[in-house]
Amino acid sequence: MVKSASWAPPGAIVIEEALAALQFDGQGLIPAVAQDATDGRVLMLAWMNRDAVRASLETGRVTYWSRSRAALWRKGDTSGHTQTLVNFRIDCDGDSILLLVEQVGAACHTNRHTCFYRELGPDEWVEIVGPDIKP
């Protein structure tokens, strides 16, 4: 399902002031949780540095920092599975981010809608599929 972009970028000064409220860790990173704005499913947890936050806010295209590749990672550039920003929220301590997003296709590189597809059952990890994954 392809949706139109819905993000109205704040101005550059607002973005810089917004960045000042964020607490980055010793590696200059902050965890960001992406939640599907349509159905509330938690899709993934990834990391942002200052440039990733800035790029996400400026463009509305969610951009993370890939720790394994040590590079900016604009979600969907290779897979087509983009995330468009709907809301950008931070927690009470300013040390984690919640992104409400419009997710195109699968959020997970395994082609599942969400990365959180394993749930601990009575005996082992079980894969949850389909509508069951919605809380």
Query: Which chain residues interact with a second copy by CB under 8 A?
Result: 8, 10, 14, 17-18, 21, 31, 33, 35-42, 44-45, 57, 87-93, 96, 98, 100, 108-110, 112, 115-125, 128, 134-135
Min dist. Cβ of residue 47 to a second copy (A): 10
Min dist. Cβ of residue 116 to a second copy (A): 4
Min dist. Cβ of residue 10 to a second copy (A): 6
Q: Residue 79 class from Cβ within 10 Å (0-12 exposed, 13-18 middle, 19+ buried)?
A: middle
Q: Is the Cβ–Cβ distance between 5 and 60 less than 8 Å?
A: yes
For residue 56, the 8-state DSSP code is H
Residue 134, phi then psi, degrees to nearest 5: -75, 130
